[in-house]
Homo-oligomer: A and B are copies of this chain.
Amino acid sequence: MTVQQEKCGKREQKKIKARNEILNAAVVQFSEKGFIETSIADIMNAADMGLGTFYNYFSSKEDVLRNLLNSFSGTLSYELKKLVENNSTSKTILTEMVMHTTRLVSKNRYLLPLLFTGAMVHTKPRGDKSVDMPAPEFMGTFLRIIKDGQEKGEFRKDVTAEIISEMFHSMFQTAAFSHLKFSFEENIEMKLRLLIDGISVCGK
């Protein structure tokens, strides 16, 4: 149960590999066609696996999504830890985290409508199970950074950290759907300047 489950078990290895193949295929399909337009059959075709196999690993398309969001979230948490250990200012941390997120999102554009939108709240599974997708955990990351900044006196306090945090989320969201001529990174970069100026305490 110990070693066997942890490392060995060719059986176990294979299972994990299959699981990842499904996730990867899903990412590609979601990116190409969007979440709603992608059917489970699409995913399993892309993964070159049998349709029924899907249900050995996930309970629904929404379940796949949850997993993708969480792994995304994990990556960012790791980056944050590094920044905090460096004793940077909140402004720096915030800026850096935004740019990290931007780069990650750039490579996984498909996730955007799902990461930051309420759109995901209402996906439409066949039955009545319409599970409200839980807001991905990393949503709280920016909140903590901002709160820290407020306590350190870097950021204004007359607007709550929660509200400011929402502004950051929305920044990503609209940038992702933007039809302007700017690249996603450029778009974010400009908005970031705006927001940073807006939340910084005067004179700073």
A179 to chain B, nearest CB (A): 7
Interface residues of A in 112-171 (CB under 8 A from B): 113, 116-119, 121-122, 124, 127, 130, 135, 158-160, 162-164, 166-167, 169-171
- Determine the distance from Cα of A197 to Cα of B159 in the docked complex, in whole angstroms: 12
Q: Which of A36, A177, A187, A191 has the most CB of B within 10 A?
A: A177
- Determine the distance from Cα of A160 to Cα of B186 in the docked complex, in whole angstroms: 11
Interface residues of A in 161-203 (CB under 8 A from B): 162-164, 166-167, 169-171, 173-180, 182, 187, 190-191, 193-195, 197-199
A112 to chain B, nearest CB (A): 8
* Cβ-defined contact, A187 with B174, below 8 A: no
Q: Which of A135, A164, A197 has the most CB of B within 10 A?
A: A197
* Cβ-defined contact, B166 with A175, below 8 A: yes
A104 to chain B, nearest CB (A): 19
* Cβ-defined contact, B166 with A180, below 8 A: yes
Interface flag for A37 (CB, 8 Å):
yes
* Cβ-defined contact, B197 with A118, below 8 A: no
